[in-house]
A and B are shown apart, each in its own frame.
Chain A
Amino acid sequence: MLRYIGNRLLLLIPVLLGISLVVLVLIDITPGDPARMLLGAQATQQQVDDLREELGLNDPLPVRYVRFIWNVLHGDLGTSLMTKRPIVDEMLQRFPYTLMLVSLSIVLSVLLGIPIGIYASTHQNTWKDNTAMFLALFCVSMPSFWFALLMIRLFGVQLRWLPISGVATWKGWILPCIAMALGLTALIARQMRSDLLEVIRQDYITTARAKGLSEGKVIYRHGLKNAMIPVIMVIGGVFGSSLGGSLIAEVIYSIPGLGQYIMSGLNNRDYPVIQGGILILSTMFAIVILLVDVLFALVDPRIRSQYARKSKGRGKRVGDET
């Protein structure tokens, strides 16, 4: 198991290297000179050239790439062009907010989505199931930024129950978390339902029934654990979309997190911030996907042994008829 995790961590390295390269190339090929952007239209060409030299923009791409990686390895993501502050400091300060927002919404959506999905699938094709699934589709189809604004209008402005922005108190987290969790909950519920229905059709569920187990035990002991495998994968994906969603949610609710920072970087073409931000969010995402895979292996013995077999160099299948 440890070797499996170690191996997966190693695989993370080329992925992150690739991402950095992609980001660097993207910024490189886009029209518009960051130095010019920074100095404004009034600056002389001489000033622009000096700044380019200072920022190292004149070096060829491979040189800049190696330098970037070298700096990242030393915990240095560069300094923001706008604020002149080291990006790492800024990000460390903002990271807890994003982590809080994202994990709260995911916990919320998992806690709600899984029971709803189980309920719907055990009441398949009844009005309860149909209503729950139509509502879920409705929530999946709702733009979350719009829903966020409507909630602010209702609970913040009209009813004055909750703050309309900022997370100075715990109450401030409620609206952003609900706004983010709504679609995710629906997504998880839909996945849970369809997976459980798929599993319930399997032969081993009939076997479990034929053993004399109660329907509840059949579903929870034999069905749910099998059905959770694809759901876990979806939860991993959901983490990614909630990182993406945090870009907008943090702006709307003025949460001083990474999303907001990246958005301001994008608006100002503050390219070290963009680079660093994408790298950090992608790393977070990659680590979560890694955790998901480890969880997978914990639940499913087939994946465990598949890995064990691979590391032994394709051993013969165990248990052949003697």
Chain B
Amino acid sequence: MEDNLLEIRDLVVEYHTDDDVIYAVNNINLTIKKGETIGLVGETGAGKTTIAKSILRILPQLQADLKSGEIFFEGVDMLTLAERDMRKIRGNKISMIFQDPMTALNPIEKVGFQIAETIKLHNKIRREEAERRACDMLEMVGIPMDRFSEYPHQFSGGMKQRVVIAMALACNPSLLLADEPTTALDVTIQAQVLDMMRSLKEKLGTSVILITHDLGVVSDFCDSVAVAYAGEIVERGSVDRIFNNPHHPYTLGLFGSLPRLDSTEPRLKPIKGLMPDPTNLPSGCRFYERCPDAAEACALSPPQDIEIEPGHTIKCIRGKEGGI
């Protein structure tokens, strides 16, 4: 309990549109220890970004409804904090890297200013000092500081993402939420950016929630994994356990749909079907329709979390039977 940096309990988030209610996040529990890097894996629409935005409380106010749950950060439930106090956490203790660096930067402000702004906001220092530190940050992410006064459109995608990372790390946060930080980048740039993030995280001792759908990145970068499906976390455990001993049929399916060099299988095995419509979720197991091992009971009631070995839980009734 003590060394838990962040603890999400029973989080429920819904989006409301004119016609429908979208059940984006349903009863999610997640804990992150200090210094831990956790990979949040799942398909598009599994509710990963919503979880990250809920932590910072930056969900779109008009449509999103944070129904219930608690998010403890350093022992304090952030959902009960006043907006004033929440602002002191955002960008300072918890910061976020967004998916698309092309749109994440204000197009008409100098990049240096955008970094310095965060520093000045949280550190009560003079502007010159903030700008000097912003220059340091730029250097740290590998951008020469004479580009301080340039505008986002003068940077390439990978460079922009470096700026975004510099901005996120500017106040030395204890938790970094990285929402698919490399998805929008070229493969070669992806590796560079990930390497840089890894060395920075080790240098600064930051905990990271890495949101991705790339299992390769996870095995490379993370200590543990949480697999999200249709707004739930279906399997959670250390990278080691999950990659060597995946239990949930969905996780197994994810691995089955990856090409492997050492595999003797002639074809990839994609998971058949699609994720259930988030406006109309099934009453039983969310994965029931696509599950190769579904039983009658799966359709009746949603499965509970089951710890199959220490620190490794799955949301599947098959877990009880000890492996599939």
* A211 x B155 contact (CB < 8 A): no
B159 interface residue, CB < 8 Å from A? yes
Interface residues of A in 267-322 (CB under 8 A from B): 299-302, 305, 317-321
* A210 x B106 contact (CB < 8 A): no
Contacts A124-B62, A206-B98, A318-B154 given; does A211 touch B117 at CB 8 Å: yes
Pick the most buried of B90, B104, B106: most chain A CB atoms within 10 A of its CB: B106
* A212 x B118 contact (CB < 8 A): yes
- Could you list some 17 contacts between A and B, CB below 8 A? A203-B98, A203-B100, A204-B104, A204-B106, A206-B53, A210-B56, A211-B90, A212-B91, A213-B87, A213-B121, A222-B109, A226-B107, A226-B108, A299-B108, A301-B108, A305-B153, A305-B154
A83 interface residue, CB < 8 Å from B? no
User: Interface readout for A192-207 with B: 1 if CB under 8 Å, 0 if not?
Assistant: 0000000000111011
* A210 x B91 contact (CB < 8 A): yes
A141 interface residue, CB < 8 Å from B? no
Interface residues of A in 59-114 (CB under 8 A from B): none
Measured between C-beta atoms, what is the minimum distance from A169 to chain B in Å?
A: 44
Interface residues of A in 203-231 (CB under 8 A from B): 203-204, 206-214, 221-222, 225-226
* B153 x A301 contact (CB < 8 A): yes
Interface residues of B in 40-81 (CB under 8 A from A): 53, 56, 58, 62
Cα–Cα distance between A211 and B88 once the two chains are bound (Å): 9
8 tightest Cβ-Cβ pairs between the two chains A and B? A212-B90, A211-B91, A212-B91, A203-B103, A301-B151, A204-B106, A319-B155, A212-B87
Cα–Cα distance between A212 and B159 once the two chains are bound (Å): 23
Contacts of B87 in A (CB 8 A): 212-214
A125 interface residue, CB < 8 Å from B? yes
Q: Show the binding face of B for A, using Cβ within 8 Å.
A: 53, 56, 58, 62, 87-92, 95-96, 98, 100, 103-109, 117-118, 121-122, 147, 150-151, 153-156, 158-159, 164, 167, 189
* A204 x B103 contact (CB < 8 A): yes
Contacts of B122 in A (CB 8 A): 212
Contacts of B159 in A (CB 8 A): 319, 321
User: Interface readout for A104-146 with B: 1 if CB under 8 Å, 0 if not?
Assistant: 0000000000000000000011000000000000000000000
Measured between C-beta atoms, what is the minimum distance from A305 to chain B in Å?
A: 7
Q: Say which residue of B98, B108, B151 sits within 8 Å of A207 (CB atoms).
A: B98
Cα–Cα distance between A317 and B58 once the two chains are bound (Å): 34
* A225 x B98 contact (CB < 8 A): no
* B156 x A317 contact (CB < 8 A): yes
Contacts of A301 in B (CB 8 A): 107-108, 151, 153
Contacts of A221 in B (CB 8 A): 117
Cα–Cα distance between A13 and B239 once the two chains are bound (Å): 69
Measured between C-beta atoms, what is the minimum distance from B274 to chain A in Å?
A: 27
Contacts of A226 in B (CB 8 A): 106-108
Known: A212-B90, A302-B107. 5 other contacts (CB 8 A): A204-B104, A206-B53, A225-B109, A301-B151, A302-B151
Contacts of B164 in A (CB 8 A): 207
Cα–Cα distance between A214 and B58 once the two chains are bound (Å): 12
Q: Say which residue of B58, B88, B103 sits within 8 Å of A210 (CB atoms).
A: B58
Contacts of A319 in B (CB 8 A): 147, 150, 154-156, 159
Q: Which residue of B lies closest to A222 (CB)?
A: B106
Cα–Cα distance between A319 and B148 once the two chains are bound (Å): 12
Q: Say which residue of A204, A209, A302, A318 sits within 8 Å of B105 (CB atoms).
A: A204
Contacts of B151 in A (CB 8 A): 301-302, 305
Contacts A212-B92, A214-B87, A305-B151 given; does A207 touch B104 at CB 8 Å: yes
Cα–Cα distance between A137 and B189 once the two chains are bound (Å): 50
Contacts of A203 in B (CB 8 A): 98, 100, 103-104
Q: Which residue of B lies closest to A317 (CB)?
A: B156
* B96 x A210 contact (CB < 8 A): yes
Cα–Cα distance between A212 and B117 once the two chains are bound (Å): 10
Contacts of A204 in B (CB 8 A): 103-107
Measured between C-beta atoms, what is the minimum distance from B255 to chain A in Å?
A: 32
Contacts of A207 in B (CB 8 A): 98, 104-106, 164, 167
Cα–Cα distance between A222 and B103 once the two chains are bound (Å): 13
Cα–Cα distance between A174 and B92 once the two chains are bound (Å): 52
Contacts A124-B62, A214-B87, A302-B151 given; does A208 touch B106 at CB 8 Å: yes
Measured between C-beta atoms, what is the minimum distance from A199 to chain B in Å?
A: 10
Measured between C-beta atoms, what is the minimum distance from A223 to chain B in Å?
A: 9
Cα–Cα distance between A207 and B115 once the two chains are bound (Å): 11
Contacts of B90 in A (CB 8 A): 209-212
Q: Which residue of A lies closest to B88 (CB)?
A: A212
Pick the most buried of A124, A208, A319: most chain B CB atoms within 10 A of its CB: A319
Cα–Cα distance between A209 and B55 once the two chains are bound (Å): 13
Contacts of B156 in A (CB 8 A): 317, 319-321
Contacts A301-B151, A320-B156, A321-B189 given; does A211 touch B167 at CB 8 Å: yes
Contacts of B98 in A (CB 8 A): 203, 206-207, 210
Cα–Cα distance between A301 and B114 once the two chains are bound (Å): 15
Contacts A299-B108, A319-B154, A319-B155 given; does A212 touch B121 at CB 8 Å: yes
Cα–Cα distance between A321 and B147 once the two chains are bound (Å): 14
Measured between C-beta atoms, what is the minimum distance from B157 to chain A in Å?
A: 8
Cα–Cα distance between A124 and B164 once the two chains are bound (Å): 29
Cα–Cα distance between A75 and B122 once the two chains are bound (Å): 62
Q: Which residue of B lies closest to A299 (CB)?
A: B108
Cα–Cα distance between A204 and B156 once the two chains are bound (Å): 16
Contacts of A124 in B (CB 8 A): 62
